[in-house]
Amino acid sequence: MVGLGVHGAGIGSPAQQIHDGDTLNVRAIGNFGVRFLGIDAAEVSFDFPGGGHTDFVSITSPRWEEFLSNPFDDVKYGELKLPVRLKNYLKTVTGPGTATNHAHHAEPAEAFLKQEVQQDITALGQTRESFKFFLAFGYEIMDGYGRMLAYINADKAEEPRPIFYNERLLEAGLVVPYFIFPNVDPFVKDKSPVNSVGENPAQFREKIGRSPKLTAARTWVKNAREAKKGVFVTGNPLRLMPFELRFLAQRRPPSRWVIDLGKTDNVLIRPEKYFTISNLEDRLFIPNEFIPLFVENGWRRGR
């Protein structure tokens, strides 16, 4: 919700805040969410299957344990059409204990982010009232839940600036990467997705290879996996990816195509085959609306 914008020490009048017939200055009233770009954290709670947005349930609820023990019960939870190969894969990462495992990994990520924000407030000598965040947006500004899509950090002008919270969580191994074109470096600096795709697959991959931020992000994930820490911890790694939990709960198959960043080919991997890319940091998800643009520039749809 928004109201008339601030003018001087108070709220401006309509005459002061209306620039012309299609422009109005406003201010935010109340809170709004920010969804971190480039990462995916285990869900603390989510819309339970069949309940819509009115049935937001904690992942620690026995209802989630029952659901994730067998999320393929179409009679109980609604129809979910999945290719046999994807369904068989998902059976290996669901089952008894999946919800408990998810909650186990959701709590450290939430606690770490709280700690990082509080440490920044303290380090800057600020209060909750004076502390501000800096937001850097990608191509899309808002998701379907009305949340801002951004890289977010403490608003600190002096050097050296800390890395974004998105990156801190990834470096700590507490979240999984979720690179979605074109909302991830190096594409966020391009003026349009057309510029991002380039003229051919080789040019596209060259841009990826020259990106220090994307390279660092992929390295952090690789290091966490090799060190078996965080979501990769020995004995109890994160079993079900957060986006998998979401599409199972929403009773819809995955819809984003995928490019394997670990290869040099020109193949667009079909949405239902994302899991064939074993290393999480090698998955670059491509929304369906951009696929014709990729095909026009030398990419081919996989079978």
pLDDT in tens, the chain (303 residues): 788 999 888 999 999 999 888 889 988 888 889 999 999 999 999 999 976 556 789 999 999 999 999 999 999 999 999 999 999 999 999 999 999 999 999 999 999 999 999 999 999 999 999 999 999 998 889 888 888 999 999 998 777 888 999 999 999 999 999 999 999 988 887 878 998 999 999 999 999 999 999 999 999 999 999 999 999 999 999 999 999 999 999 999 999 999 999 999 999 999 999 999 999 999 999 999 999 999 999 999 999
Token duo for residue 71 = 């999320």
Domain check: are 26 and 62 in the same one?
no
Q: Does one domain contain both 106 and 226?
A: yes
Contact 267, 298 (CB under 8 A): no
C-alpha span between 251 and 247 (Å, rounded): 6
* Residues 19 and 140 placed together within one structural domain of the fold: no
Task: Judge if 103 and 210 occupy the same domain.
Answer: yes
* Whole-angstrom distance, CA of residue 130 vs CA of residue 259: 42
CA 105-110-111 angle, 5° bins: 100
Other Cβ atoms within 10 Å of 246 Cβ, number = 15
Same domain, 124 and 3: no
Q: For residue 80, what are the domain limits?
A: 31-301
170 and 294 in a single domain? The answer is yes
Asked whether residue 76 falls in the same domain as residue 11, the answer is no
Within 13 Å, how many C-alpha atoms sit on residue 214's CB side? 25
Tokens linked to 165: 């919270």
CATH number at residue 178: 2.40.50.90
Same domain, 106 and 25: no
CA neighbor of 67 nearest in space, from 202, 58, 274, 187: 58
Query: Do residue 3 and residue 134 come from a single domain?
Result: no
Q: Looking at the structure, tell me whether residues 25 and 115 fall in a common domain.
A: no
Same domain, 196 and 261: yes
pLDDT, residue 22, reads 84
Residues 45 and 18 grouped into a single domain = no
State how many domains the chain has: 2
pLDDT of residue 157: 73
pLDDT of residue 269: 98
